[in-house]
A and B are shown apart, each in its own frame.
Chain A
Amino acid sequence: MKVFHNKGHLLFAMLLLLFVLAVVFSSLSYGEKARLIPFIVGIPTVILLTLVLITENYSSLFSRFRVSADSGITGSKAKEHRKDVGDRQPARSVLAACAWMGSFFGLVYVVGFLVGVPVFLLLYFKFSARMSWLVCTLATVATAGFIYGVFEIAMKVDLFKGIAFGSIVPPL
């Protein structure tokens, strides 16, 4: 499992490295002065991330060796397996959290803040917090009312109404 965890480390470091490389290469198309700082900052960052990748990869190989040695000598496969399951749990929880957050954006995009906020809160309180319908409704009304009061009334922000109600999405 440690290997899997390190894979995450490696993947993230690699993504950062790719991003910085893309920035450095695309700055080649700019003028001499405009690409100076992207180079001065980008090239050392590439070196730093490469060093991070090397050290992460080294620790990954090391831990792979250690796990196989441990399981061979002490026979602690069951323990490792339990650890595997325990470590996979956060990844699933992270995906679930992201899905909830993504669904909030989706709701706001389609039906706007005024409808999206209470719908999201009600669903979250019911299916994630597992509260009773009565408590869900009260908590939703209180929170949505607070949001409406703060942003629409106090701050006079024209909250997005949603594409379903004719709001226009700005160009991306």
Chain B
Amino acid sequence: MFDALVAAGGHLASVDVFLILMLGVATGLVFGVLPGLDGMIAVCVLLPLTYGWEPMSAMYLFAGVMGAVPFAGSISAILINAPGTALSAASCFDGYPMSRRGEGAKAIGMSAFASTMGAIFGLVVLIAVIPLFRAFVMQFGAPEFFWLVVFGLTSLAVAGGGSMLKGLAAGGVGVLISLVGYSYVFGILRFNLGSEYLWDGLPLVPLLIGILAISQLISYSVKKGIIAVERPPEVKQVASTLDGIKEVFRNKRCFFQSSGIGTLIGMIPGVGGAVSNFLAYTTAMQTSRHPEKFGTGVPEGLIAPESANNATISGALLPTVAFGIPGSGLMAVLLGAFMLHGLAPGPTLIIEHLDIVLSLILGILVGNIIAGGVGLMLARFLARITTVNVSVLVPILLVFCLTGSFAIRGNLWDVLLSLFAGVFGYLMTRFGYSKLCFIIGYILGILAENSFHLSLKSAYGSYAIFFTRPISLALVIVIILMLISFLLMRKKLGTKAIGIKRGESEA
């Protein structure tokens, strides 16, 4: 572990890696600041560029993106009340009032420092628990992996918001699509409709580009106009920025509490930063001495979501690298990136490629620090990007994405696939189906099938193997409990909502 950490640290010292990280940070800052575009789309757009790169270099590029996106999202949340990503939504509550009071520089300083420190907190926890997880994942066999995929999909559908039925259905469709093409387990072609193009199944990167990036570009085209109408205010007082940094030290308890929440939430597949920043905010409010001031521009109200959202990214890395079950949408795309670079998602990653995992972790750490520094200097200019007309942004991103889609395999039909996937992704969003569940289903579908058949083979065809091993059984119980608790919670909330409505009408 220590040797791998030193090796990963050594890589970071080279100029090439630093430049790659900077490219990632720059992309992350631009994509993070723009509402609608996020880290997931940024990694998607950059994926084709990394084809043929050393896996470690590619990881540094993605690490730069992941380090920069949460803070960049907060810049637009604080300055123009339009969160760049869902990770920064709660930062609007107190960040924007501060900015309106003329304390934009202080808020940005606070955000940058809390974000960076939150990421460091999460990454230190991650590095500390990886050795424990390495021992734990050795206990996992094929049946456990089958249930892990089911667990990942269920938790995404349950916790990902929206309709659980639609989430699970989207996951199912994703799994079925992953089965298209030649099966190396059975030696037959399935569901290829006689098409030569589908022999190897639907290619991952063009599909991801379509579902995530092109669908968002269609949304932009539909909305038209400028992304954020409000012009960013002046942000130039250095003293205020330093004051913002000091404010994080003054609210140490809030920082540690929120970073802890962020790291823990990140580790739960599917829950992600969108939940953690709100949970950290409400917890900070409940434990504050002056909860009534929340929403008026209090430092705790900004420190809480900022430290939580970056810590979440660090936490989400754990299930992704240890089990191959993504903790968030960004991690799902990262899994795709692992696959593109020939790295199998799952336990082999932290057992055989620990150096790559640690490079990613250190890269995110350094990316966070760079993003904090660059973001502090360029906050106002970055926020101005949101005033760009989408009619200018759409064709540029479209051409870049579709050329990238072609570049991976040099097959023109991949471009067409991206376009169809884009329309499909847009319709999924419009009609409330989780794109994330679909993607996870697609990425993990083959793993689920292979694990399933390997389990049956090792048990001489007995299905009991899925329920008799302790970890398998535990996973089955967790899945059932999760579904039951969700249904009970929904029933309870539904009754409450009806009660409120009734109360209102009676009044």
**A interface list, Cβ under 8 A from B:** 8-9, 12-13, 16, 19-20, 23, 26-27, 30-31, 33-34, 36-38, 40-42, 44-45, 48-49, 51-52, 55, 90, 93-94, 96-98, 100-102, 104-105, 108-109, 113, 117, 120-121, 124-125, 128-131, 139, 143-144, 147, 150-151, 155, 157-160, 169-172
Inter-chain contact B389/A157, CB cutoff 8 Å: no
With A36-B452, A45-B172, A48-B165 as contacts: A155 and B395 at CB distance below 8 Å: no
User: What are 5 A-B residue pairs whose CB atoms fall within 8 Å in the complex?
Assistant: A113-B403, A121-B399, A139-B392, A150-B49, A169-B412
Partner of B412, one of A20, A52, A125, A170: A170
Inter-chain contact A117/B179, CB cutoff 8 Å: no
Q: Is residue B287 contacting chain A, with contact meaning CB distance below 8 A?
A: no
Partner of A102, one of B49, B419, B445: B419
Inter-chain contact B391/A97, CB cutoff 8 Å: no
**Min CB gap A100→B, angstroms:** 7
In the complex, which residues 386-406 of chain B have their Cβ closer than 8 Å to any Cβ of chain A? Answer: 389, 391-392, 394-396, 398-400, 402-404, 406
Interface bits B69-100 vs A (CB < 8 Å: 1, else 0): 00000000000000000000000000000000
With A16-B173, A97-B218 as contacts: A120 and B416 at CB distance below 8 Å: no
Inter-chain contact B176/A20, CB cutoff 8 Å: yes
Beyond the given pairs A38-B176, A159-B403, 16 more chain A to chain B contacts, judged by CB atoms under 8 angstroms and listed by A's residue number, are A20-B172, A20-B173, A37-B175, A37-B448, A41-B172, A41-B175, A96-B221, A100-B395, A101-B422, A113-B406, A128-B395, A147-B400, A160-B406, A170-B411, A171-B197, A172-B197
Q: Which residues of B contact A121 (CB under 8 A)?
A: 395-396, 399
Interface size on B, residues (CB 8 A): 61
**B interface list, Cβ under 8 A from A:** 49, 51-52, 163, 165-166, 168-169, 172-173, 175-176, 179, 183, 186, 188, 190-191, 195-197, 214, 217-218, 221-222, 224, 389, 391-392, 394-396, 398-400, 402-404, 406-407, 410-413, 415-416, 419, 422-423, 426-427, 430-433, 445, 448-449, 452-453
**Min CB gap A94→B, angstroms:** 6
Inter-chain contact A170/B176, CB cutoff 8 Å: no
Total CB contacts across the A-B interface at under 8 A:
167
Partner of A172, one of B168, B169, B195, B407: B195
Q: Which residues of A contact B406 (CB under 8 A)?
A: 113, 157, 159-160
A172 to B420, CA, bound (A): 15
**Min CB gap B113→A, angstroms:** 34
Instruction: Tell me the nearest residue of chain B to A113, going by C-beta.
Output: B403
With A20-B173, A52-B165, A171-B196 as contacts: A93 and B221 at CB distance below 8 Å: yes
**Min CB gap A69→B, angstroms:** 16
**Min CB gap A58→B, angstroms:** 13
Q: Which residues of A contact B217 (CB under 8 A)?
A: 97
**Min CB gap A26→B, angstroms:** 6
Instruction: Tell me the nearest residue of chain A to B389, going by C-beta.
Output: A129
Inter-chain contact B169/A117, CB cutoff 8 Å: no
Ranked nearest first, the 6 interchain pairs of A and B with the lowest CB-CB distance are A45-B172, A129-B391, A97-B221, A124-B395, A48-B169, A93-B222
